[in-house]
Amino acid sequence: MRHIWLQALLLSLGAAVSLGITRFAYGLLLPAMRADLAWSYTLAGGMNTANALGYFVGALMTPKLLARWGASTVLVVGAFLSSIFMALSGFFIETDPLLLQRFLAGVASALVFIAGGLLAARLGAQAPSRSGFLIGLYYGGTGFGIALSAVLVPWALDASSTQLHGWRWVWWLLALVCLLASAALVIPARAMARFTVPTTQAGTGAPVHFRWRAFGYALAGYTLFGVGYIGYMTFVVALLREQGSSAVEVTVFYALLGLAVVASSRIWAGLLDRHRSGRALAILNGLLGVATILPALTQSWSVVLGSGLLFGGVFLSVVASTTALVRHNLPHAAWAAGISAFTIVFAAGQIIGPTVVGWIADGPGGLARGLVYSALALWLGAVLAWRQPAL
């Protein structure tokens, strides 16, 4: 078990790169980039929409890449590509190339996230009694990336404040961190490349296919999760700054959110192991809606901090719940197709969320009204996921 836990911990660096840094560090950079480049909230949200569109394209590509090269190779190559595209974002100030870099980083991060999730599911199969915890530990690695970004980004922004377009140095620093994490990913990738992966239904010799209709309610609920959660992660720092929070308070808020993500793997492991239906996805979506709406209702620091802790303690476990749902209801040979399907609808939801919330924020009510929209999407997703039966 000690060896398995170590492999899971190293694998979690993939989630740290693909989401914790490549996706979510942008929320910390958004206020500085928006002020420097005179962006509207719609355009600022569009940057994460471009990232999500790339993620969607990457999710469509990944099943074929997995079949051709295997999960270990896709994981490592995707991680290094993510690092390169992060670095390139520091070389441009024009909108079009920045949108392109965010798109390409999204493509690469999808390769990492899906391949890493598949390897985590396979690792969980080595210890069935601990599978929920091991899967959650992988996704909880996103929290390492978020917490590290919360510390590095404000410090780097302050250190480069006298430089023209000083935020560029932050992209380069984050790219260096991603490169180091990518190098560490080589260790579990090599070890797990030796795993034997079945390609047919045991005893039949026939290939196994993922049936989208059978998972319809869960897929719909997960799509709305993508719509709702990304609005919070894109704009909550900007909202806090608008409400007068200091740089130290923002750092504390984001770092605690990240640490809560790490802890979530332990908190919800039993829930993921217990439910074979969409109940886990529904419960977590509902809690996430509560966390999302709180900063829109009050500026009380204690309530806002509680929102961040609850959000961090839940949102990556929503992702883990879909991997657990696939693992509970499909044979091993269909796991890659199942995880890819959920990632595709997740990416589709993320394409919609940032731009719509940004458009709402540019109107009356501002960012607070945008977060209300996000919370409603999450609650509707919870209702749909509740209807997903076990197969």
Q: In this structure, what DSSP letter does residue 89 have?
A: G
Note the pLDDT of residue 52: 87
CA 241/CA 249 separation, integer angstroms = 9
CA 24/CA 22 separation, integer angstroms = 6
Note the pLDDT of residue 57: 92
Note the pLDDT of residue 196: 52
Q: What is the pLDDT along the chain (391 residues), one digit of tens a residue?
A: 677 878 888 999 999 999 889 888 998 898 899 989 999 988 988 898 899 899 889 988 888 898 899 889 999 999 999 999 999 989 999 999 999 999 999 999 999 988 998 888 888 777 776 777 777 788 888 888 999 998 999 899 999 988 888 899 999 999 999 999 999 999 988 888 766 554 444 444 444 567 888 899 999 999 999 999 988 988 888 889 888 888 888 889 989 998 998 888 778 878 887 888 999 999 999 999 999 999 999 889 999 999 999 999 998 889 888 988 988 888 877 887 888 888 888 888 888 888 888 888 888 888 889 899 999 999 999 999 999 998 8
Q: Return the CA Rg of the chain.
A: 19
What string of DSSP letters covers 67-82? Answer: HHH-HHHHHHHHHHHH
CA 75/CA 189 separation, integer angstroms = 7
What string of DSSP letters covers 171-212? Answer: HHHHHHHHHHHHHHHHHHHHHHTTS----S-TTT-------T
Note the pLDDT of residue 319: 84
Quote the pTM value.
0.80
Note the pLDDT of residue 204: 43
